[in-house]
Amino acid sequence: MARLILRNVPKEIVDALAARAKRHGRSLEDEHRMLLKENLFRRKRRLLEDVFADLEELDRKGAVAFQDTPPPGDGPAG
């Protein structure tokens, strides 16, 4: 297995990693390894809130219209 050396890591990051390792019952090294594995090999998924934010932006630009949203000028206020 390869060896990875990480230098100049801010104390608050090390402290957060140590707290997370403790919560999961792992060593600092094991927790670091797990975080790398989880984040490098997980399927690429967008958070639902990001998808909604993108859709709202497209709606504001008039690039998309939702079924329950009348096109600009067609609604009661238009």
39 is in which domain, residue-wise? 11-60
Judge whether 52 lies within some domain: yes
Helices (H), 1-78: 11-24, 28-41, 48-60
DSSP 18: H
Check residue 37 and give its pLDDT.
86
Examine residue 25 and state whether it is found in any structural domain, yes or no.
yes
> What are the per-10-residue average pLDDT scores of the chain (78 residues)?
88 91 94 87 67 79 67 60
Place of tokens 């399927």: 43
Residue 75 belongs to some domain of the structure: no
Per-residue pLDDT at 69 = 53
What confidence score (pLDDT) does residue 26 get? 95
CB atoms within 10 A of CB 14: 13
Q: Does the model's pTM come out above 0.75? A: no
Measured distance CA(68)–CA(56) in Å, rounded: 13
The reply to whether 78 falls in a domain is no
The answer as to whether 40 is a domain residue is yes
